[in-house]
Chain A
């Protein structure tokens, strides 16, 4: 038997172990990306092509004209509308950032009720029932507070306030 092995058996096995673990960890296959198709393709959307919609900024009561860039049905950028008489293509930082509000993970997306100082999400059925009961009980002593709602949303708010016998307040 020769003694020409330079490191002893234990050290050798340790080194081999480290080598294998390193190779396996460093060369692990990255998870393949998935391509998700439409379930039913919308007629008016071409995948990969952006569409621009003219709209109105709702971040303050000025109501600047905006152009919204949308891809596959999702808004991805907002710019000022050059043809709008008020802002003539400009858009302030808040208007630019309104897209962040749209996709804010903390955005309130369902009715919530305060229980013991903390907000708790409830279902729409529960929420509507609860609101109806409270408004009914306080008939005439309620107010509906909205911002400058545009067009039909304004009419809807006015009708809702009238039906509930509430005072309409606009800020």
Chain B
């Protein structure tokens, strides 16, 4: 009897610990992948169904090291009129009219001590989806690649002898 009780308590402890552990590195056990955002924005709708180009909103991706989030005025450019009565758009309009920025939750977390340059990769003809996955099918965007060094290097290795844009294997290209 005691033994059975001990086993049950041990099992419960282990289960709690493993849930806590998986949660600690952002693995969600239930529900959609990716963090819950303050506004339920869907890439599946905008980039997929409506076929908007990525750089319509992330306009700095081909011009800057970072692919920016669109300014809220870009959202309002359409949503001042389009679907203005939908609950999520009402939320957006509320933020905008209060002069508050939407506190979007960061999805892609680059490891420390490494730099990534969007412009270089876009200019070399890498498609957004090559790294970010099929964003146009994601209702909630999640971090698609691991962003670990092995993942970067595997692609750089394949393109070492690319005729137009040979990839570098120089350490300092990323760790500078």
Binding site for B on A (CB under 8 A): 1-2, 4-5, 9, 12-13, 16, 19-20, 23-24, 26-30, 32-41, 46-49
**Are A12 and B6 touching (Cβ within 8 A)?**
yes
- Contact assessment for B16 and A39 in the assembled complex, using a CB-CB cutoff below 8 Å: no
Residue of A nearest to B5 (CB): A9
Provided the pairs A16-B13, A27-B21 are in contact, do residues A37 and B2 lie with their beta carbons within 8 angstroms?
no
Chain A residue nearest in CB terms to B26 = A29
CB proximity of B112 to chain A, nearest CB, Å: 13
The answer on a CB contact under 8 Å between B72 and A23 is no
Encoded as 1 (CB less than 8 Å from any A CB) or 0, chain B from 1 to 26 comes to 11100100110010011001101101
Q: Find out whether the CB atom of B13 lies under 8 angstroms from the CB atom of A20.
A: yes
Q: Please count how many residues in chain B sit with their CB below 8 Å of the partner chain's CB atoms.
A: 37
How many A-B Cβ pairs are below 8 Å? 101
User: Given A12-B9, A20-B13, A23-B16 in contact, is the A37-B102 Cβ separation under 8 Å?
Assistant: yes
A48 with B66, Cβ < 8 A, contacts A39-B96, A40-B71, A40-B73 known: yes
Q: What B residues does A26 contact at CB under 8 A?
A: 20, 24
With a 10 A CB-CB cut-off, give which of A1, A13, A29, A37 has the most chain B CB atoms: A37
Query: How far is A20 from B18 in the complex, measured between Cα atoms in Å?
Result: 10
A46 vs B66: C-alpha distance when bound (angstroms):
9
Query: Which residue of B16, B68, B70 contacts A24 across the interface (Cβ within 8 Å)?
Result: B16
Cβ-defined partner of A2 (8 Å) among B3, B23, B104:
B3
Which of B1, B23, B71, B104 is close to A41, meaning CB atoms less than 8 Å apart? B71
For B99, give its contact among A4, A13, A39 (CB under 8 Å): A39
